Amino acid sequence: MARKNTILIVDDEPDIVNLTEKFLKLGDFDTITSSNAKEAMKIVEESYDKIALILLDIMMPGVSGTTVLQNVKNDERYKQIKVVLFTVKSFNEDIQKGKRLGADGYITKPFSGKDLLKYIQKMLEEN
Protein backbone atom coordinates (compact mmCIF):
# COMPACT_ATOMS: atom_id res chain seq x y z
CA MET A 1 0.00 0.00 0.00
CA ALA A 2 1.25 3.45 -0.86
CA ARG A 3 2.25 5.59 2.06
CA LYS A 4 -0.14 8.30 3.06
CA ASN A 5 1.30 11.32 1.39
CA THR A 6 -1.52 13.77 0.96
CA ILE A 7 -1.83 17.03 2.87
CA LEU A 8 -5.21 18.72 3.05
CA ILE A 9 -4.83 22.52 3.19
CA VAL A 10 -7.84 24.41 4.52
CA ASP A 11 -7.76 28.20 4.55
CA ASP A 12 -10.06 30.94 3.30
CA GLU A 13 -7.09 33.10 2.17
CA PRO A 14 -6.05 32.04 -1.35
CA ASP A 15 -2.52 33.44 -0.87
CA ILE A 16 -1.93 31.17 2.10
CA VAL A 17 -3.27 28.16 0.20
CA ASN A 18 -1.11 28.90 -2.85
CA LEU A 19 2.10 29.44 -0.90
CA THR A 20 1.55 26.35 1.21
CA GLU A 21 0.67 24.19 -1.75
CA LYS A 22 3.71 25.33 -3.69
CA PHE A 23 6.14 24.38 -0.93
CA LEU A 24 4.48 21.08 -0.08
CA LYS A 25 4.72 20.09 -3.74
CA LEU A 26 8.44 20.87 -3.67
CA GLY A 27 8.60 18.38 -0.81
CA ASP A 28 6.85 15.74 -2.96
CA PHE A 29 3.59 15.80 -1.10
CA ASP A 30 0.26 15.52 -2.81
CA THR A 31 -2.14 18.26 -1.84
CA ILE A 32 -5.87 18.83 -1.68
CA THR A 33 -7.12 22.33 -0.95
CA SER A 34 -10.30 23.78 0.43
CA SER A 35 -11.41 27.26 1.42
CA ASN A 36 -14.07 26.30 3.94
CA ALA A 37 -14.81 23.93 6.79
CA LYS A 38 -17.85 22.22 5.32
CA GLU A 39 -16.08 21.23 2.14
CA ALA A 40 -13.02 20.19 4.13
CA MET A 41 -15.10 17.73 6.17
CA LYS A 42 -16.52 16.25 3.00
CA ILE A 43 -13.00 15.78 1.62
CA VAL A 44 -11.86 14.13 4.85
CA GLU A 45 -14.78 11.73 4.72
CA GLU A 46 -14.07 10.78 1.11
CA SER A 47 -10.26 10.69 1.21
CA TYR A 48 -9.19 9.96 4.79
CA ASP A 49 -7.27 6.86 3.74
CA LYS A 50 -4.85 9.09 1.77
CA ILE A 51 -4.62 12.09 4.08
CA ALA A 52 -1.58 12.17 6.37
CA LEU A 53 -2.10 15.64 7.77
CA ILE A 54 -4.48 18.59 7.69
CA LEU A 55 -3.24 22.17 7.73
CA LEU A 56 -6.20 23.98 9.16
CA ASP A 57 -7.06 27.64 9.46
CA ILE A 58 -9.15 28.54 12.49
CA MET A 59 -10.74 31.79 11.34
CA MET A 60 -12.93 31.13 8.32
CA PRO A 61 -16.34 32.50 7.37
CA GLY A 62 -19.17 30.15 8.30
CA VAL A 63 -18.06 27.05 10.18
CA SER A 64 -14.71 27.57 11.94
CA GLY A 65 -11.63 25.39 11.81
CA THR A 66 -12.22 24.46 15.43
CA THR A 67 -15.26 22.45 14.37
CA VAL A 68 -13.23 20.57 11.78
CA LEU A 69 -10.57 19.82 14.39
CA GLN A 70 -13.20 18.53 16.78
CA ASN A 71 -14.84 16.33 14.17
CA VAL A 72 -11.55 14.83 13.04
CA LYS A 73 -10.31 14.13 16.56
CA ASN A 74 -13.61 12.57 17.65
CA ASP A 75 -13.84 10.07 14.83
CA GLU A 76 -12.02 6.74 15.09
CA ARG A 77 -11.63 6.51 11.33
CA TYR A 78 -9.45 9.62 11.30
CA LYS A 79 -7.17 8.84 14.22
CA GLN A 80 -4.05 8.56 12.01
CA ILE A 81 -4.54 12.05 10.61
CA LYS A 82 -2.47 14.79 12.21
CA VAL A 83 -3.93 18.27 12.45
CA VAL A 84 -1.75 21.37 12.40
CA LEU A 85 -3.46 24.70 13.01
CA PHE A 86 -2.75 27.95 11.25
CA THR A 87 -2.99 30.57 13.95
CA VAL A 88 -2.36 34.25 14.25
CA LYS A 89 0.30 34.80 16.87
CA SER A 90 -1.69 37.17 19.02
CA PHE A 91 -4.60 34.72 19.29
CA ASN A 92 -3.31 32.78 22.24
CA GLU A 93 -6.84 31.70 23.06
CA ASP A 94 -7.02 29.75 19.79
CA ILE A 95 -3.83 27.90 20.66
CA GLN A 96 -5.12 26.95 24.10
CA LYS A 97 -8.41 25.77 22.69
CA GLY A 98 -6.65 23.87 19.92
CA LYS A 99 -4.52 22.06 22.48
CA ARG A 100 -7.54 21.02 24.46
CA LEU A 101 -9.21 19.69 21.33
CA GLY A 102 -6.20 17.61 20.37
CA ALA A 103 -4.33 19.61 17.71
CA ASP A 104 -0.94 18.07 16.91
CA GLY A 105 0.83 21.34 16.18
CA TYR A 106 0.68 25.01 15.23
CA ILE A 107 2.03 27.26 12.57
CA THR A 108 1.76 30.95 13.28
CA LYS A 109 1.04 33.37 10.47
CA PRO A 110 2.97 34.87 8.82
CA PHE A 111 5.32 31.98 8.07
CA SER A 112 7.94 31.06 5.48
CA GLY A 113 7.16 28.29 3.02
CA LYS A 114 10.53 26.70 3.67
CA ASP A 115 9.96 26.49 7.41
CA LEU A 116 6.48 25.13 6.88
CA LEU A 117 7.78 22.32 4.70
CA LYS A 118 10.47 21.44 7.25
CA TYR A 119 7.93 21.41 10.04
CA ILE A 120 5.56 19.11 8.18
CA GLN A 121 8.32 16.74 7.10
CA LYS A 122 9.57 16.46 10.68
CA MET A 123 6.11 15.89 12.06
CA LEU A 124 5.38 13.06 9.62
CA GLU A 125 8.75 11.40 10.25
CA GLU A 126 7.81 11.02 13.91
CA ASN A 127 5.29 8.30 13.07
User: Binding residue for Mg ion (CB under 5 A) from 57, 82, 84, 116?
Assistant: 57
DSSP code per residue over 21-89: HHHHHHTT-EEEEESSHHHHHHHHHHHTTTEEEEEEES--SSS-HHHHHHHHHT-GGGTT-EEEEEEET
- Indicate the residue among 59 and 107 with the shorter CB distance to Mg ion: 59
- Of the candidates 30, 33, 22, the residue with the CA atom closest to the CA atom of residue 50: 30
Q: Which residue is nearest to Mg ion (CB)?
A: 59
- Indicate the residue among 19 and 60 with the shorter CB distance to Mg ion: 60
Note whether 59 binds Mg ion by CB under 5 A: yes
Note whether 12 binds Mg ion by CB under 5 A: yes
| Nearest distance in Å: CB 44, Mg ion | 18
Q: Using CB under 5 A as the criterion, which residues of the chain lie in contact with Mg ion when the complex forms?
A: 12, 57, 59-60
